[in-house]
Amino acid sequence: MADGQSFPRAVVLISGRGSNMEALLRADLPVTFAAVISNRLDARGLAIARNLGVETAVVDHREHPSREDFDQALAAEIDLRAADLVILAGFMRVLTDGFVARYQGRMINIHPALLPAFPGLDTHARALAAGVKLHGCTVHFVTPEVDAGPIIAQAAVPVRDDDSVESLAARVLAQEHRLYPMAVRWLAEGRLRLTPEGRVALAGAAPNDATLIAPSD
């Protein structure tokens, strides 16, 4: 895990096991991971983060009477760490417009589908039901509309005739663990920019990998 005062400071938000969080923490990125924060005290990823030397905190959504109150408490924890970047990694809360605006352009998420297809939940089951031949994952900037922000990068996997939800999910997750660290690196290095059309462009060379679909200038 990279560290250093010159690196942007990042907070990772999780709700569960945090496998994408762990992939990020182990990726030797040009980022100082200031904290991992969960809305659930029993999130398994908290122990993983502590074992990797990263501070953790819990902001329990059940202790707050409204989404707005919860988001205010969450923002206070993030701002306490002077975070430059907010990285959602399996964070299962819909954020308010005000929270999203507070971190606009520096908050990203990974979604287990090739957006704009299959936003929301149960993406693998829906992909199988639809009979698509390609499925995958998407890293995108967070906007008030859920799973609709500008796309940073995508990774695709074939859908096999004998796939179950579990087998397809496992293949997609392996790509998530490759794609998310790459996208966070681009963001930390300042290589991403929004075009006037609202698309994301990447400065410099993109990876030469057929399983990756990435923006370029």
Which residues neighbour 180 within 8 Å (Cβ) at sequence distance 6 or greater? Answer: 20, 23, 24, 89, 110, 139
Helices 123-130 and 165-188, packing angle to 10 deg: 120
134 contacts 156 by C-beta, under 8 angstroms: yes
**pLDDT at 208 (0 to 100):** 63
Tokens standing for residue 204: 């410099």
Helix segments in 7-140, DSSP class H:
19-25, 45-51, 67-80, 97-102, 123-130
First-residue to last-residue Cα distance in the chain = 29
83 contacts 34 by C-beta, under 8 angstroms: yes
3-state percent breakdown (helix, strand, coil) of the chain, nearest 5: 30, 25, 45
> What's the chain's length in residues?
217
The CATH class for the domain spanning 1-103 reads alpha beta
Query: For 35, how many CA atoms within 13 A lie in the half-sphere containing its CB?
Result: 18
Cα-Cα-Cα-Cα torsion 174, 57, 7, 146, nearest 10 degrees, comes to: 60
pTM over 0.85: yes
C-alpha to C-alpha distance for 58 and 77, rounded to whole angstroms: 9
43-73 residue pLDDT tens: 999 999 999 999 999 999 999 999 999 999 9
**pLDDT at 138 (0 to 100):** 98
CATH 3.40.50.170 boundaries in the chain: 1-103, 110-217
**pLDDT at 204 (0 to 100):** 84
109 contacts 88 by C-beta, under 8 angstroms: yes
Pick the CATH number of 110-217 from 3.40.190.10, 3.40.50.170, 3.65.10.10, 3.40.50.1370: 3.40.50.170
Write out residues in the chain with pLDDT < 70, as ranges. 1-5, 207-217
Q: List the catalytic residues.
A: 111
**pLDDT at 111 (0 to 100):** 98
**pLDDT at 6 (0 to 100):** 83
